Amino acid sequence: MLTSFEQAQLAAQRQDWALVYQCLCQMQIALDAEAGDRPLAADLLELVAEALLKVLRLGDFQQRWEIAKLFSQIAAAPLSEDQRSRLVMPWVAALQTDGDDEELCWFVARLLGEVAHPAAVDALAELLQQTEDDDVRSAAAASLASLGPLSTLALTELLAEPETRLVAVQTLAHVRSAAVVEPLLSVLDDPDPAVRSAALEALSSVHEPRVSAALVRALSDPASAVRKEAVIGLGLRADQAIALDLVPLLSPLLRDLNGAVAEQVAIALGRIGTPAAVLALSVQFQPLTPISQQIALVRALGWMKVPEALAALESILETAPAPVLLEAIAALGRTQEPRWRPKVAQRLQSLLSQPGVQASAAAKQAIALALGQLGDRAALGGLTGLLADEDAGVRLHAIAALKALDRTAAQQHLRTLAQDPQTPAPLRQGITQALQEWELGQG
């Protein structure tokens, strides 16, 4: 009786690739049932690799995909060096003989990343240099990254060539090994800003003095992309803000001509969260500061857990442009410290009397939402007043906020007002709507 592999060989001669795949699967299933993850014998492994490659070479996309899954199962077994070599070599050769088939090269590049073998690394590094197809290049880079430290030397050698330097840096960024730090540091003076910024991005998560010093130097880089990555990297070192003197270093870049850099500085200072960082952010609220940057400043202040940040947010409420005002109200509504919430709620309620806010349904909705989040019962009066607003959205936001404060106390307060003949008609109508919605919600 023919074995599964012999049947696969006969099917391959007839170019019946679906049957080849079925036979190889049966062979793998039989091995799994017999001895768990026991790998194939070295000689048979090489024949299987060649048979798999034939299907991959001549099958359709679906068959290729299924073969790739079977290869992964075989590669996952504990293999000796000789077995890995037998499995890999036919596939390495295919990159040379079938280089014009980009889909095949993509599959092979993906699969070689599953076998830790020097020949796989060399083949992938060469493919990275030679291919002009972006998908194939991405697959080769991802596989090299997955091979980890084994691929570091090959990738370091690719740094020597300008054509492959950027992709080598991007790939090294995904290799989790201390061995990549030195190669990445070596390209920080590269003429190509894309290489410099990619290297800084990769190094940002490495917390050692050489990297921190490199990030500080890069703050003055002529390329905005490089400055941006330097700011991001230093923002991840908020715990070293005093040691690295980060606030004075970063603050001047709040006026960077590139808005993306300035916004990242705001984020970094928000992470640092010191009173000095608050001051650096606060002085940037100027009429000529772009709206997008002012919003970034507000968000950064909103992350800070110091009273100076709250004071800074409250100070801009009177003069902020509409989009910035809405962001500031939202930030104040997210105040976490219980002892600060009553003061913030009182300040937000006082805004409701300002003409600019009274004319803005969006501002009143934002205040209602913020008061509901703060949960201070003293806001009951201010929220009740919003029930008389002519805008339905404002009334609905007020109802939701009242529920969030204290449902029972709010209902009792509203029923008392509803029975009071002195209650104005618009407010009475809003109260009726609120009570009806609550009753429907309870039902």
Burial of 121 (0-12, 13-18, 19+ CB in 10 A): buried
Report which residue type is found at 253: L
Q: Looking at the predicted structure, is the pLDDT value of residue 98 above 50?
A: yes
pLDDT of 44: 63
Average pLDDT over residues 180-200: 96
Q: How confident is the model at residue 430 (pLDDT cuts 50, 70, 90)?
A: confident
Neighbour count for residue 202 (Cβ, 10 Å): 24
| pLDDT, the chain, mean | 86
> What tens digit of pLDDT does each residue of 136-183 get?
988 988 988 888 888 898 899 989 989 889 989 988 888 878 889 999
Question: Beta-strand (E) ranges in 57-185?
Answer: none
What's the half-sphere exposure (Cβ side, CA atoms, 13 Å) at 70?
25
Average pLDDT over residues 226-236: 97
pLDDT of 131: 86
Report which residue type is found at 340: W
The H or E element containing residue 105 is helix 102-112
Q: How confident is the model at residue 68 (pLDDT cuts 50, 70, 90)?
A: confident
- Of 12, 47, 48, 1, the C-alpha closest to 28 is 48
Note the pTM of the prediction, 2 decimals.
0.80
Q: How far is CA 348 from the centre of its chain?
A: 33
Contacts of 156 (CB under 8 A, 6+ apart): 168, 172, 183
Q: How confident is the model at residue 40 (pLDDT cuts 50, 70, 90)?
A: low
Q: How confident is the model at residue 88 (pLDDT cuts 50, 70, 90)?
A: confident
Contacts of 201 (CB under 8 A, 6+ apart): 173, 229, 232, 233
Spatial separation of the C-alpha atoms in residues 331 and 301, rounded to whole Å: 8
Q: How confident is the model at residue 443 (pLDDT cuts 50, 70, 90)?
A: very low
pLDDT of 35: 46
Average pLDDT over residues 193-203: 96
The H or E element containing residue 411 is helix 392-419
45 and 87 Cβ atoms separated by less than 8 Å? yes
pLDDT of 36: 46
- Of 219, 157, 226, 230, the C-alpha closest to 190 is 226
Name the superfamily (CATH) of residues 147-236: Leucine-rich Repeat Variant (1.25.10.10)
Spatial separation of the C-alpha atoms in residues 284 and 289, rounded to whole Å: 7
Which pair of tokens denotes residue 431? Answer: 């109260």
Domain boundaries, the chain: 1-144, 147-236, 347-443
Per the model's pLDDT, the better-predicted residue between 42 and 45 turns out to be 45
Helix-helix angle 81-97:102-112, to 10 degrees: 160
Q: Which one is the CATH code of 347-443: 1.10.3720.10, 3.40.50.1100, 1.25.10.10, 3.90.105.10?
A: 1.25.10.10
- Its sign, for the CA torsion 22, 24, 25, 27, is positive
pLDDT of 344: 95
Spatial separation of the C-alpha atoms in residues 94 and 71, rounded to whole Å: 15
> What tens digit of pLDDT does each residue of 362-411 get?
999 999 999 999 999 889 989 999 999 999 999 999 999 998 888 888 88
Q: Looking at the predicted structure, is the pLDDT value of residue 436 above 90?
A: no
- On the question of a common fold for 147-236 and 347-443, the answer reads yes
pLDDT of 24: 63
Q: How confident is the model at residue 25 (pLDDT cuts 50, 70, 90)?
A: low
Q: How far is CA 339 from the centre of its chain?
A: 33
The H or E element containing residue 328 is helix 322-333
Q: Looking at the predicted structure, is the pLDDT value of residue 286 above 60?
A: yes
Q: Looking at the predicted structure, is the pLDDT value of residue 265 above 70?
A: yes
- Its sign, for the CA torsion 219, 225, 228, 230, is negative
